[in-house]
Amino acid sequence: LVRQQPEEKSKAVDVLCLTLRETEKVPAMMITFLPFSHNPLVRFSMLDMKKCVWRDFLHSRDISLCHSLSRGQPSFGLLFDIDGVLVRGRTPIPAAKQCFRNLVDGNGKYRVPVVFVTNAGNCMRQAKAEQLSHLLEVEVSPDQVMLSHSPLRMFSHFHRKCVLVSGQGPVTEVAHNLGFHNVVTIDMLREAYPLLDVVDHNRRPKDVLPPTRELPLIEAVILFGEPIRWETNLQLIVDVLLTNGQPGNPVSSLHYPHIPVLACNMDLMWMAEAKNPRFGHGMFLVCLENIYKKITGHELKYEALIGKPSVITYNYAELLVRQQAESLGWAEPVERLYAIGDNPMADIYGANLYNRYLQASQETRAQAQVKGGVTEVTEAWQGLCLGTPHDVGCLPEACLSILVCTGVYSRDEQDLPSDPQQTVTERIFHGHRDFRFDPSLTQPSFVVQDVREAVELIFQQEGCPLE
């Protein structure tokens, strides 16, 4: 349709959204709004999203940011990254404690909705909430915490399948908490097939033919986060992919496409107590992707990439913000989100990408209203949102990004060039393979020194007192 009638491109995008919404094999939200994937459908959708006409929120914020004071109720919510923004490892950043003292009243009630959005995923929300409460000296509820794997709750079509999970910490408990019923861990796999894990000579079986016990057919692979023994996880995951979920069998022929792979947390590096960033799960994914391609000659494909900077993560975070606003007794919807982070390729990229999604959704709904009586477009957006259909109109107007200098990013670093070709050839790209680099998405709305300055700036922009 687009090739034959270019003027019908807008209509084609609407039809594509509706078609993807009805597709069960791949989540519509993931295909449509992970715009930089190698998937041609994704490139098509983002190309047309980019060509949509929407107003630049930053140019109009001087008009819209003063509404909250006149109404007597704030109209914004805060999304906090954790590592590099609030803490480094187990040590709180000094500015964070004072910042959160100002964010709660005398009764410990938050002045505005606050949600913690982290790419960490090696624990339960309850444990992370308790850790934050201790470090920040304010009460943090599990309902305010979003881990990288939290959106997996929505992937119900995988919950009854037998899945192999990779990561560290209580992975089985995490998987069950997310809704997965039939879980196989890496340790269970190596115990069932001890001949598969032989890099460490001390772990090699002493018997020539050790007994094995059969496991159910593995139907999908879930990658929660970086494991401890990378060589073991890499070997066994590749075995599962090559054997179509039956690692005890020989590889008779290449099974491609392979069984579904869902990965959480694409961070190449993250900031802990060390002076330089440490390897993250994104580094493990780089290893897995290259090993699989080296062996098979084919690209490793993901059913879903979850965690920052994917839009699905921010959609889920917005739902949590909405719930926090309701718990605070707010009668009016949250109009703006502010995302505070230290990683340009995760926090800033993701917030700006989500802002584009919000602008595109507003434009699409506006076009549908102008047409009058044409409901298909708005129904498509409703199908892609996490709430009920009547919640679609309550999406925020925008999501602004704020970069702090206490983590991965440093003011001393050279600014990224604006020419994408120069970036590809002369600079190093730390984003995930399936996210094409767009320089504009790494440019924050604001750059400040630390989280305290970020919050003070936000309240100043909103015209709200911060005591």
What pLDDT is recorded for position 393?
58
In 321-416, where do the E strands start and end? 336-341, 398-403
Ordered by where they begin, the domains of the chain are: 57-148+309-462 (3.40.50.1000), 151-306 (3.40.50.1000)
Phi, psi of 349 (to 5 degrees): -55, -50
Cross-strand bridge partners of residue 79:
115, 339
How far, in Å, CA of 17 to CA of 357, rounded?
13
Structure tokens at 193: 């097939």
Beta strands in 314-360 (DSSP E): 336-341
Q: pLDDT tens digits, the chain, 467 residues: what are they?
A: 344 444 444 444 444 444 444 444 344 333 333 333 434 333 333 333 333 323 333 344 443 444 444 446 899 999 999 999 999 988 999 999 999 999 999 899 999 999 999 999 889 999 999 999 999 999 999 999 999 999 999 999 999 999 999 999 999 999 999 999 999 999 999 999 988 998 888 888 777 666 567 899 999 999 999 999 999 999 999 999 999 999 989 998 889 999 999 999 999 988 888 888 899 999 999 999 999 999 999 999 999 999 999 999 999 999 999 999 999 999 899 999 999 999 999 999 999 999 999 999 888 877 766 665 444 433 443 444 444 333 555 789 999 999 999 998 887 764 544 554 444 334 567 888 888 778 889 999 999 999 999 999 999 999 988 76
> What is the model's pLDDT at position 428?
66
Strands (E), 249-298: 261-264, 269-270, 278-279
Structure tokens belonging to residue 162? 């037998």
Query: Which residue, chain included where needed, has tokens 């449509």?
Result: 32
Sign of the C-alpha dihedral, residues 227, 230, 234, 235? negative
Alpha-carbon distances, residue 462 vs 60, 74, 106 (angstroms): 13, 8, 22
DSSP 347: I
The rounded distance, in Å, linking the Cα atoms of 85 and 93 is 7
64: left (phi over 0), alpha (psi -120 to 50) or beta: alpha
Residues 6+ apart with CB under 8 A from 108: 138, 139
How much is the pLDDT for 188? 95
Q: Which residue has the tokens 């703006």?
A: 336
How confident is the model at residue 202, as a pLDDT?
82
Of the candidates 80, 163, 170, the one whose C-alpha atom is nearest the C-alpha of residue 119 is 80
Q: How many CB atoms lie within 10 A of CB 162?
A: 17
pLDDT for 307: 94
Q: What is the pTM of this model?
A: 0.76
pLDDT of residue 151: 95
Cα 299 to Cα 280: distance, rounded to the nearest angstrom: 21
The pair of structure tokens assigned to 265 is 């947390």
Per DSSP bridges, beta strands 182-185 and 162-166 are: parallel
Q: What is the pLDDT of residue 421?
A: 46
- How far is residue 82's CA from residue 407's CA, in Å, rounded to a whole number? 10
